[in-house]
Amino acid sequence: MATQARQRLLTTAEDLFYAEGIRAVGIDRLLQESGVGRASFYRHFAGKDELVVAVLEDRDRRWLSWLRESVEAKTDDPSARPVAVFDALADRFARKDFRGCAFINTMVEVADRDSAAHQVADRHKRRVIDYLAELLTEAGWSDASEMAAELALLVDGAIVTAVREGNPDAAFRARAIAECLLAVR
């Protein structure tokens, strides 16, 4: 039962934080929406900050797994996979519930770089760069880490632009820029 309550808290918190923002959602709302009692909440989490960190850590693992699976489904060609990332993102951007990147949103809301939530969000972004470097290495790039950081900048820019524009077009434009970068080097 405790595991089910914890999972309900994580799922409810993730949904609400992503839809409305971390600061906009209080503990009372989380308890009401999840159906979990206050005592049970505090058995699992010392407070909201600890819940936020747990939500982000869980989302990090699932999101990176989704990205990897999506890219692999887009192409079998290792040389095409670095730009296939943008095709996967376009699929995500086209979803009606797309509200940007939970990790970028967290860094904006929790601007204190020393906070645990900000640090988890930063680690996620570093893991994305590592994944891009892995794709580039498999595609034959020798300076994969530098190019991965540049592609990550395009990824983050596409995410923010997709939120602003409300459509997936930014992913396609970022893909075209990535193709140019990869062709020049």
Written as one letter, the residue type at 128 is V
pLDDT at 3: 80
With cut-offs at 50, 70 and 90, classify the pLDDT of residue 1: very low
53-98 confidence digits (pLDDT tens):
999 999 999 999 999 999 999 999 999 999 999 999 999 999 999 9
Q: Which long-range contacts (CB under 8 A, 24 or more apart) does 126-130 make?
A: 127/60, 127/64, 128/64, 128/67, 128/152, 128/155
- Chain centroid, CA 113 distance in Å: 18
Q: Are 174 and 86 in contact (CB under 8 A)?
A: yes
49-61 confidence digits (pLDDT tens):
999 999 999 999 9
5-42 confidence digits (pLDDT tens):
999 999 999 999 999 999 999 999 999 999 999 999 99
Q: Whole-prediction pTM value? A: 0.93
100-156 confidence digits (pLDDT tens):
999 999 999 998 999 999 999 999 999 999 999 999 999 999 889 999 999 999 999
User: Is the pLDDT assigned to residue 185 strictly greater than 80?
Assistant: no
User: Is the pLDDT assigned to residue 2 strictly greater than 60?
Assistant: no
With cut-offs at 50, 70 and 90, classify the pLDDT of residue 184: confident
pLDDT at 53: 98
User: What CA–CA distance (Å, rounded) separates 118 from 108?
Assistant: 9
